Structure 1
Amino acid sequence: MEVQYTTTGIFLSQRKYILDLLRRASMEGSKATSTPMITTCQLSATEGQLVENVSLYRSIVGALQYVVITRPDIAFAVNKVCQFIHNPLDVHFKAVKRILRYLHGTLDHGLHFTKNSKLLLEGFSDASWGSDINDRRSTSSYCVFLGGSPISWSSRKQQVVSRSTAEAEYRSLAHVIAEMIWVQSLLTELGVSLRGKALVWCDSSAAVAVAGNPVLHSKFKHVELDLFFVREKIAQGLFQVGHVPSQEQVADILTKPLAVNFFNKFRSQLRVSTSGVLVMAEGGTS
């Protein structure tokens, strides 16, 4: 991992590691792509031929998980190909190669951490309901910002089938709040004081409404533990949950493959760019 100190903060990248990974996959001369996954990508667990070199697939996918440490823009795609690591097919390897082609075209990209005196803890949660064609489980995602810089992100398939969009979104909401509680605990141990309540943003109006409603609706009984967990933290004054429009939901990049315009927008908001471009929290540059 390369660390570059700038006048505004720190820039983390993995150019050398990615180049080594491209050489390992014999893709040094591959044609770059603008996104790590096509918008219509639907990876089947059964349709396709078993890859010839299973060990190579597993090795590359494992290495990609390390790249995600400084490249949250590939987190969704990498999580997707990880789901087939026990029985990888040729279509899955094709998806892996597209991720590598995207990284080839963005070798100089990395993660910016900038100085900020306003230590506000802020989280974004999202879910893609029933998006997995193999078992119809939903994908949960979140990203957590401290002082405007991303410090934690996740993209993963939910462990059970959600029966509605709101249910899937609420499970994701519980995940990000659990992560933010851990961050708060760590900061307390370090003697760092936060500014105001932690903010959580969700693009599901139904999930936001349920979070602030003390009445348990029958439709949410199967997520009762998550429901009471979130409500308890809100009642304690630790969190405030608000609604964000879908077109401003940065966690969307961690939930599903996006068209290039939205992908680039949310990638910038995740502060992933080249070292010469400082990305601001609202998506601008300076």
Structure 2
Amino acid sequence: MEDEIFFNQSKYIKELLKKFRLEDSKPTKTPMLMEIKLIKDDEADSMDSSKYRGMIGSVHYLTASRPDIMFSVCLCARFQENPKTTHLEDIKRIFRYVRGTTHLGLWYPKGTGVETIVYADFDHAGDYIDRKITSGICTFMGCCLTSWFAKKQTALAISTTEAEYVSAEKACQQALWMKQALIDYEIRLDDVPIM
């Protein structure tokens, strides 16, 4: 557009829903239930792992314009090796959420400032299998979201304080990377605040 950029993958979403025969599924308001606990469900029936991996890969590509599904997709991706029917229901819920929110995307207005802010959060012992934390980081330049990720950490945090330090470390790495990228483009920043 003349004064802004709107990045949206609605056409891809429609193709995705058709590919997995979910175009008539009932939309949901959230990509995942708050009380859901994804675990290795040994009692549930196994399913075709190639189909599950295909669904995860397809919806993971969608996270390029949809940071709202990043955390849910990453949780479901942990079960690609031996997915069960219960995991399939969780990934189908993400598809149903996406079906009801095809209009969402990323908006970048023209003339946005270069003030960069990095936010970090974590879930202490949030993985119900190995009790490791998942860090979530997002970076804004002005009012525009420019990078985001959710990552299960390799270390086991003993306390919430340690988990905060791990997330803060990842946020600092992201802030320094962003600062260096801006310097490479000859845009100087004095400080990058981390919140």
- Please report the TM-score for the alignment, with normalisation by the length of structure 2: 0.95
CA offset digits 1:2-51 (Å, max 9, x no partner): xxx253x1100111111111111110000000010000110111342211
154, 171, 178: which one aligns with 1:176 = 171
Q: Which position in structure 2 is the counterpart of 1:50?
A: 46
What is the root-mean-square deviation of aligned Cα atoms in Å?
A: 1.2
2:154 is aligned with 1:162:
no
CA distance in 2, matches of 1:6, 1:168: 44
Offset at residue 117 of structure 1 (A): 4.7
Matches within 5 A, 1:9-158: 9-47=4-42, 48-51=44-47, 53-158=48-153
CA distance in 1, matches of 2:15, 2:161: 42
CA distance in 2, matches of 1:166, 1:155: 19
Unaligned runs of 5+ in 1: 202-286
**Would the aligned equivalents of 1:140 and 1:169 in 2 still touch at CA under 8 Å?**
no
175, 180, 187: which one aligns with 1:192 = 187
CA distance in 1, matches of 2:105, 2:169: 29
**Would the aligned equivalents of 1:139 and 1:157 in 2 still touch at CA under 8 Å?**
yes
**Would the aligned equivalents of 2:112 and 2:141 in 1 still touch at CA under 8 Å?**
no
Q: Secondary structure at the match of 2:175?
A: helix
Unaligned runs of 5+ in 2: none
Q: Secondary structure at the match of 2:163?
A: helix
Structure 1 runs of 4+ with >4 Å offset = none
CA distance in 1, matches of 2:112, 2:41: 51
CA distance in 2, matches of 1:128, 1:115: 35
Q: Secondary structure at the match of 2:13?
A: helix
Sequence identity percentage: 33
Read off the aligned partner of 1:197 and give its amino acid letter: D
Offset at residue 108 of structure 1 (A): 1.3
CA offset digits 1:108-153 (Å, max 9, x no partner): 1111112345310100011110011111111111100112211111
Q: Secondary structure at the match of 2:105?
A: strand
**Would the aligned equivalents of 1:162 and 1:168 in 2 still touch at CA under 8 Å?**
yes
Read off the aligned partner of 2:182 and give its amino acid letter: L
CA offset digits 1:73-123 (Å, max 9, x no partner): 000000001111111111111110000000000011111112345310100
Matches within 5 A, 1:127-276: 127-194=122-189, 196-201=190-195
Q: Which position in structure 2 is the counterpart of 1:225?
A: none
